[in-house]
């Protein structure tokens, strides 16, 4: 299986992931109905985000946590949603790539997702 090593690889991975997400019964509605995401805007941000996280290219400047609080206020983003997000991400990485960088992509995504799940839960208690 191919190594995850270039910007093109990231674009392919992110495209395949959000293709799954947009059709997904458990979390797809957050994107289509709750946030009404503009994919032409969202996807390039996600390429930059992953390029920054994995390759240290500082192309993403933003605050990923902050973007999710308004969504969480409209519809609770629960632990189960994040667990499902991680499942889809892991599947997509493993279907397309292998090696250290692919493992790191899964590891980093899981850490952020767990932290995000915790922050969203805390925010709902305020």
**Contacts with ligand HEM, residue ranges (CB under 6 A):** 27, 30-31, 35, 37, 41-42, 45, 49, 62, 64, 67-68, 71, 77, 81-82, 85, 109, 112-113, 116
- Which pair of tokens denotes residue 33? 């109905």
Residues 6+ away with beta carbon under 8 Å from 18:
31, 39, 42, 43, 46
Q: Closest distance between ligand HEM and the C-beta of residue 44, in Å?
A: 10
Q: Closest distance between ligand HEM and the C-beta of residue 89, in Å?
A: 8
Measured from the CB atom, the residue of 90 and 96 that comes closer to ligand HEM is 90
Residue list, annotated binding site for heme: 68
Q: Give the span between the Cα atoms of 41 and 84, in whole angstroms.
A: 23
Q: Are residues 84 and 24 in contact, defined by beta-carbon separation less than 8 angstroms?
A: yes
Residues 6+ away with beta carbon under 8 Å from 46:
14, 18
Q: Closest distance between ligand HEM and the C-beta of residue 105, in Å?
A: 9
């Amino acid at each position: 299986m191919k190594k995850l090593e270039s910007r093109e690889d990231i674009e392919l991975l992110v495209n395949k992931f959000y293709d799954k997400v947009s059709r997904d019964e458990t979390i797809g509605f957050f994107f289509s109905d709750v946030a009404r995401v503009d994919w032409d805007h969202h996807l390039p941000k996600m390429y930059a985000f992953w390029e920054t996280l994995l390759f240290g290219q500082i192309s993403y400047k933003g605050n990923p946590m902050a973007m999710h609080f308004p969504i969480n206020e409209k519809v609770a983003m629960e632990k189960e949603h994040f667990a499902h997000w991680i499942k889809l991400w892991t599947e997509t990485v493993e279907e397309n790539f292998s090696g250290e960088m692919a493992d790191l992509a899964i590891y980093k995504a899981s850490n952020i997702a767990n932290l995000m799940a915790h922050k969203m839960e805390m925010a709902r208690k305020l």
